[in-house]
Amino acid sequence: MNNLKKAPPVLILEDVAVAYKIRGGEIEAVQNVSFEINRGETHGIVGESGCGKSTVAWAVLNFLGANGYVKRGSIKFQGQELVGVTGEELRRLRGDQIAMVYQDPMQALNPSMRLGDQMSEVLTVHRDMDKKEAEKRCIEMLERVYMPDAANVMNRYPHQISGGQQQRVVIATALLNNPALLIMDEPTTALDVTVEAVVLDLIADLRREFDTAIMYITHNLGVVARVSTRVGVMYAGEMVERGTVEDIYKDPQHPYTQGLMRCVPKLGADKASSILYPIRGRVPPPNNRPVGCVFSPRCDYVREICHNKRPELLEFSSGVSVRCHFAGEIEADKWSPSDDILPPEIITDTSPREPILKLDNLKKYYEVQGSSLKDILGLGEQRYVKAVENADFDLPRGTTLGVVGESGCGKSTLIKTIIGLEQTTEGHAEFMEIDITDEISTRGEDVIKELQMVFQNPDSTMNPSYTVGQQIGRPMKRFSTVPKDEIRGEVIKLLESMRLGENYYDRLPRQLSGGEKQRVGIARALASHPNLVLCDEPVSALDVSVQAALLNLLLELQQEYDTTMMFIAHDLSVVRFFSDQVAVMYLGQIMEIGPANAIYAPPYHPYSEALLSAVPIPDPSAEQKHIRLEGTVPSAINPPDGCRFHTRCPRRELLPDGGAICETEMPPWRETAEGHRIFCHIPLETLNTFDPVITQKPEGSNHVS
Amino acid sequence: MLVKDYMTRHPIMISPETDASEAQNIMTENNIRHLPVVGDGKRLLGLITREKLHVPPSDLGSLNVWEISRLLSDLKVKGMMVKGKDLITTEGDITIEDAAKIMLEEKIGCLPVLEDGVVGGIITDTDMLAHLAHLMGATVQGVRVTIRMPDKVGESAKVTDVIASHGWGIYGGGGHDAPKQPGYWDAVLKIQGGDKEEVVAALEQIEGQEIIDVR
Amino acid sequence: MKAKTKKKSRLQKFWDSVSLILASRVATVGSIMVLFWLVLAFISLFWTPYDYNASDFLQNLGPNPQNWLGTDHLGRDIFSRLMKGTQVVLLKTRLPGEGNIIIPGGVAIWGVIGSMALGVTMGLNAGYRGGWWDQVIMQILDALIAFPRIVLYLVVIAALGQGDLVVILAISITGAPGVARLARSLAMDIKTRDYIRAAETRGESVWYIMFKEILPNASGPLLVDGMLRVGYAIFAIGTLGFLGIGLPPPDPDWGNMVNEARRNIFSNQLAVIWPALAIATLVIGLNLFADGLREEMTRYQK
Ligand SMILES: Nc1ncnc2c1ncn2[C@@H]1O[C@H](COP(=O)(O)OP(=O)(O)O)[C@@H](O)[C@H]1O
Ligand code: SF4
Ligand code: SF4
Ligand SMILES: [Mg+2]
């Protein structure tokens, strides 16, 4: 229904430029950004890191720090100019009408104060509400954000509740004042997908109920598609495209937006939709932006004029505005990938190969030290964190196993145990027919060099004190795989296959971008030509356009060297294209394992089904089943008996007695013909009847009533 | 259909210390006519309207140009707003027609809506008109018919039965005593599903009722 | 072309460090104070106004055109003695035995190097290996710290007699626990980084990991700490000299100068001030320098 009422927008930014003063000059982190947000509207701002998203938010809040200031343009909040206004006046203008939610909830919570006190302070200080009344109001608000056991939470300290719950407290606190504008900067980035899904639902509800204008900042295209009505795409400090979510996702106009859409996994029905095409190059730093169009060095359509003249913002009748000289002329579906970003062809060699790694009921328990007097004296019962339980599978040579699951489910422990950084508690592991159950110090050099690892965090994967060349050369030297005088040549060869030139040899890690560091990390792992490479979320910390390039590269190298791989990821979309096999873990237990395609279609394990329906998909026309898990992941110290998922399983009802059996008995492995195994009491016939989680919305169903 | 569902939430508000000229600007720029005046924590102190900002010409008669401009720039909202018992407010939980009644009786164009003692929104005559337009189905396509019927129980049911039997839908409408025709009732309906001829043909069949306008 | 850019970058590097120091006013002041003494020390290697040990003048003179800072109770030129005294602290160490063997590097410098070597080894082992190693090493360090410093000095010197090396040893032992604690906490932080995991998965030895992977990344804070420690060491040498158990003659020792002047404080007040001032300025200069550098370095990282 189109609204006849025309209330003025809550926030209007016009041509805003923000600059930071730095040593010897200043950088314009944000240029020419214009947009407005209406009541009850969520305006997404999406872009890769360093594009100036947070800076926009800080400019509105006047939190730019000592060295930042709004250089040009105007920011109007509730019809009143904020730029150039300072101090008391500004406080009055913003009053309690703007609230902010950050990525890390602990940034907003005081760790040494009860949550109830922190929340009610908002009401007692500004509004003179009496304490009793304020507490009552807080509890109501907590219930509105679906906080279980709200009254009890009021008495706890922040560290006593989970991250997802902390974020809910922050949101509830922000809403207590009923702000006109709510700014959220990556509020769900630190949360697991299933928790994120709940928080996103919540945000959508609250917007409707309170008519709040929300500025939602994120790097995740899927999240924006789920929460926002309109979206602005930022690149290198500029807003390059803006429009409704439907328009932007269905028919992106700016080459950058088009590129972004092609490099995020879509998780659609067919595997082809998960092919990723990276954008070449990388985001320029703010002090080194090209003249003319900021995107010109990476653009497929670049022409002479793009290098000389900055494009103006072109507005289309649909309301979409685009900053490109050729907006409207570029047809996204005529695009074809150039050779350098083409993903490698997947050779689907189905002939079974011998397993290179065999796990036989592998267990890893960590001892936990209690803090009671009894524990200190050693009288208490020894307790364990059961991080990995009964991992049991074979990994055929030359294949890739994707391992997915939420944080803390034991993915990293599993590979650390395999590689020998942790001592196995029970069970047995065999690699190339050699026993590797014990720690790395007990292993021979021939095994060590065949088993290497790639790490998650680009900032800590490389030793800051050594050059790229030294670090990649080290394994060659240590394992003497290459004669000393040939190491340099070999390293350069490896660098080149990583698409990094010889000139990277002498660089130090701090001179590299995140993606480049990860490439070096991979090169280092491959330097000894290992047979098995274990990758622990190698792309999670990277921007999407870089992530795609790295995934394609890994795939190519794997095929070239015939390497076997285990690849950890926290969301199901990333591993899809990439893996031959996928394993889904929950609370230390592998719940489902099988050929990649089989995991994404029924029969599903109930947990995989929930996970799939939680993943935000960057495609507003995709229809996703709405399954939300209740409660939180139980502690791994005392995991639930029977099926570990029984405390949250939405599918137990299908079993007799509401799944009483799940609480007491370990489920059996249900196996399909194609080697797809599901760890569940529900029989396969029933699992087979589940609908696919993701389907395409039927066209044109916008009708009322 | 309660006030809280139709009011404008998060209205633009100003503080009592704002200059009158500034308030004037805010109104002009945002194309609005009412500004709630609030203190800390959004507590309502008063309401300023465009009329209130007009300084009566008689006050200015005796002053020269310079004095006038000084007078104008010194004026603060505090001294000009509606306040105290002249300030009429409402809660979000009353019906929209009750709010309309209050506005008519008091001859005012705007009601600040209080929630928990602080400003939760405002509802103005514009909102009321928008609501009327929506009620009548102004925002949807369809056939608008006005039917005159005897003011008796069961008459409107006849109409809805006919519409339902054709599988059409009613997307808006209302009713009123027929002007200058005691004992009759005019009903307006926005009907979707059939075209003009079909709708007229179907409704003409009803005995004792008359179609007085179709568009 | 390539060589050119490289050369430029080395010069650049040097200029970067200098501008780092200049960026902080505190570090600039500190470095000027330290440089002042360093320059005096170098000059004294070749030239002092007068012979520092000869009683050429009247006793207890105040400052005058010939003796800028006056003379002491034996009629020796104080300025010459102060200049010469810088050498043992900053520039040379006299080894015992025949032939007056001298090695470069002052007693304060070697003392700090000693405590760094000892402390870093213990700290890295405690921090990286953890568990049982950590427990034992920390117990030893706690025991050492529990002793008052002066008592420790006295114990070492009483056991080994006087001499430059003994002072170095005393400084090393008393300084090591502090260094070790710092090194331990740095190691505990750095060992969580992924590149340490990478080294472990390559099967590198514990010593390689501690000294090749961890130490280079801990060197920044350790160097700053070392700089501060040179200050403490100078102070310690002064204290020992004052107690009469410091650096042996013939070289003048600032602490000893204070001590001797103290006895004549009624006939010549200024004589006690000069060496005390020398110790103070050098120590404060080093402190300022280290503080400013630390501040500027952490800002640089952000
Ligand atoms: N206080 C600051 N001083 C100097 N540069 C800054 C400061 N804060 C952010 N920047 C720079 O501004 C750019 C935009 O940063 P940011 O707004 O945080 O991006 P995003 O939120 O999109 O990741 C980045 O290049 C960042 O390095
Ligand atoms: S202006 Fe040119 S370079 Fe920039 S996005 Fe458009 S086509 Fe590409
Ligand atoms: S075994 Fe029971 S609780 Fe576990 S996943 Fe299956 S139905 Fe759910
Ligand atoms: Mg950010």
What's the pLDDT tens digit per position in C43-101?
A: 888 888 888 877 777 777 777 888 778 888 788 888 888 888 888 888 878 877 776 78
What's the pLDDT tens digit per position in A620-635?
A: 888 888 998 887 788 8
Domain spanning C106-248: CATH 1.10.3720.10 = yes
Residue A637 CB coordination number (10 Å): 13
- How far is ligand 4, taken at its centre, from the CA of residue A32, in Å? 18
3-state secondary structure of A476: helix
Query: How many Å is the maximal CA-CA distance in chain B?
Result: 75
3-state secondary structure of A537: coil
Q: Does a cis peptide bond (omega within 30 degrees of 0) precede residue A179?
A: no
State which residue of chain A sits closest to C219, comparing Cα positions. Answer: A465
Of C193, C195, C202, the CB nearest to A448: C202
Q: Residue A182 has what pLDDT?
A: 93
Q: Give contacts of C202 with chain A, Cβ < 8 Å.
A: 448-449, 452, 474-475, 478-479, 528
Q: Residue A271 has what pLDDT?
A: 61
Pairing mode of beta strands B8-9, B118-124: antiparallel
Residue A436 CB coordination number (10 Å): 24
CB contact under 8 Å between B139 and A2, yes or no, is: yes
Q: Residue C302 has what pLDDT?
A: 38
Residues with CB under 6 A from ligand 2: A 255, 293, 295-296, 299, 301-302, 306, 311, 324-326
**For a substitution probing ligand 3, which of A586, A682, A684, A687 has the most ligand atoms within 8 Å of its CB?**
A682
Give the residue-averaged pLDDT of A158-181.
87
Q: DSSP per residue over A619-667, as a string?
A: -TTEEE------S-PPPSSSPPSSSTTTTT-TTGGGSGGGTHHHHHSPP
Say if CB A39 and CB A7 are below 8 A apart. yes
Task: State the smallest CA–CA distance between residue C193 and chain A in angstroms.
Answer: 5
Interface contact A76, partner C, CB < 8 A: no
What's the pLDDT tens digit per position in B17-60?
A: 888 888 888 898 888 889 999 887 788 999 998 888 776 666 66
Q: Give contacts of A479 with chain C, Cβ < 8 Å.
A: 202
CB contact under 8 Å between A445 and C203, yes or no, is: yes
For residue A320, which of A254, A228, A226 has the smallest C-alpha distance? A254
In this predicted structure, the answer to whether residue A92 has a pLDDT above a threshold of 80 is: no
Q: Give contacts of A421 with chain C, Cβ < 8 Å.
A: 197, 200-201
| Ligand lying closest to the C-alpha of residue A187 | 4
Lowest mean pLDDT among A107-111, B200-204, C18-22: C18-22
Interface contact C98, partner A, CB < 8 A: no
Q: Whose CA is nearest to atom 3 of ligand 3?
A: A646
Q: Residue A492 has what pLDDT?
A: 93
Q: Give contacts of A78 with chain B, Cβ < 8 Å.
A: 10, 12-13
Of C195, C203, C213, the CB nearest to A461: C195
Pairing mode of beta strands A532-536, C92-94: unpaired
**For a substitution probing ligand 3, which of A608, A662, A663, A686 has the most ligand atoms within 8 Å of its CB?**
A662
- Calpha distance C190→C204 (Å, rounded): 16
3-state secondary structure of A703: coil
State which residue of chain A sits closest to B168, comparing Cα positions. Answer: A705
Residue A428 CB coordination number (10 Å): 14
Q: How confident is the model at residue A702 (pLDDT cuts 50, 70, 90)?
A: very low
CB contact under 8 Å between A465 and C217, yes or no, is: yes
Neighbours of chain A (3+ CB pairs under 8 A): B, C
CB contact under 8 Å between B8 and A39, yes or no, is: yes
In this predicted structure, the answer to whether residue A343 has a pLDDT above a threshold of 80 is: no
Residue A361 CB coordination number (10 Å): 12
Q: Residue B59 has what pLDDT?
A: 66
**Average pLDDT of the residues of chain C:** 84
Say if CB A174 and CB A100 are below 8 A apart. yes
- How far is ligand 1, taken at its centre, from the CA of residue A30, in Å? 9
Q: Residue A176 has what pLDDT?
A: 87
CB contact under 8 Å between A5 and B120, yes or no, is: no
Q: Residue A129 has what pLDDT?
A: 82
Q: How far is the CA of B196 from the CAs of A77, B148, B186, B190, B200, in angstroms? A: 47, 18, 19, 11, 6
Q: Residue C170 has what pLDDT?
A: 87
Q: In chain A, what percentage of residues exceed pLDDT 90?
A: 40
| Ligand lying closest to the C-alpha of residue A52 | 1
CB contact under 8 Å between B118 and A137, yes or no, is: no
CB pairs under 8 A between A and B: 73
Q: Residue A701 has what pLDDT?
A: 41
CB pairs under 8 A between A and C: 54
Q: Residue C273 has what pLDDT?
A: 87
Q: Give contacts of C217 with chain A, Cβ < 8 Å.
A: 463-465
Q: Residue A95 has what pLDDT?
A: 66
Give the residue-averaged pLDDT of A639-668.
91
CB contact under 8 Å between A210 and B32, yes or no, is: no
Question: Which positions ≥6 away from C151 have C-beta within 8 Å?
Answer: none
Q: Residue B58 has what pLDDT?
A: 66
Spans in chain B with pLDDT lower than 70: 55-61, 72-74
Give the residue-averaged pLDDT of A159-181.
87
- Calpha distance A47→A539 (Å, rounded): 17
What's the pLDDT tens digit per position in A32-89?
A: 999 999 998 999 999 888 888 999 999 998 888 888 899 999 999 988 888 888 777 7
Neighbours of chain B (3+ CB pairs under 8 A): A
What's the pLDDT tens digit per position in A226-262?
A: 999 999 999 999 999 999 999 999 889 999 999 988 8
Mutate: best of A14, A41, A78, A128, partner B, most B CBs <10 A: A78
3-state helix, strand, coil in chain B (%, to 5): 40, 30, 30
Q: Residue C186 has what pLDDT?
A: 94
Q: Residue C89 has what pLDDT?
A: 83
Amino acid at B64: N
What's the pLDDT tens digit per position in A454-484?
A: 998 888 999 998 999 999 999 999 999 889 9
For CA atoms C276, C279, C282, C285, the dihedral sign is: negative
- Angle, helices C164-190/C131-146, rounded to nearest 10 degrees: 140
- Calpha distance A654→A682 (Å, rounded): 7
| Ligand lying closest to the C-alpha of residue A303 | 2
- What are the structure tokens assigned to A674, written together? 């194609």
Of A440, A460, A462, the CB nearest to C201: A440
**Average pLDDT of the residues of chain A:** 87
Q: Whose CA is nearest to atom 6 of ligand 3?
A: A680
State which residue of chain C sits closest to A420, comparing Cα positions. Answer: C201
Q: Residue A352 has what pLDDT?
A: 72
Q: Give contacts of C201 with chain A, Cβ < 8 Å.
A: 419-421, 440, 448, 451-453
Global pTM? 0.81
Lowest mean pLDDT among A575-589, A603-617, B11-25, C260-274: C260-274
CB contact under 8 Å between A463 and C213, yes or no, is: yes
CB contact under 8 Å between A478 and C195, yes or no, is: no
Full strand arrangement of the beta sheet holding B143-150? B169-177, B184-192, B143-150, B210-214
- How far is ligand 2, taken at its centre, from the CA of residue A325, in Å? 6
Q: Residue A148 has what pLDDT?
A: 79
Give the residue-averaged pLDDT of C98-105.
78
For residue C80, which of C52, C45, C57 has the smallest C-alpha distance? C52
Ligand 3 near A591 CB (within 6 A): no
Q: Give contacts of A179 with chain B, Cβ < 8 Å.
A: 10
Q: How confident is the model at residue A703 (pLDDT cuts 50, 70, 90)?
A: very low
Interface contact B70, partner A, CB < 8 A: no
Helices (H), A485-581: 487-497, 514-526, 544-561, 572-576
Say if CB A559 and CB A344 are below 8 A apart. yes
Task: State the smallest CA–CA distance between residue A632 and chain C in angstroms.
Answer: 28
CB contact under 8 Å between A4 and B134, yes or no, is: yes
- Angle, helices A131-144/A163-176, rounded to nearest 10 degrees: 120
Interface contact B46, partner A, CB < 8 A: no
- Calpha distance A34→A49 (Å, rounded): 20
Could you tell me the residue ranges of all domains in chain C?
Answer: 19-103+267-302, 106-248
Amino acid at B8: T
Residues with CB under 6 A from ligand 1: A 20, 22, 29, 47, 49-55, 65, 67-68, 286
Residues of chain A that touch chain B, judged by Cβ-Cβ distance less than 8 Å: 1-8, 10, 39-40, 78-80, 92, 95-97, 126-128, 137, 177-180, 210-213, 704-705
Q: Whose CA is nearest to atom 4 of ligand 3?
A: A643
Interface contact B130, partner A, CB < 8 A: yes
Continuous segment of H or E residues that includes residue A28: strand A25-37
Say if CB A153 and CB A115 are below 8 A apart. yes
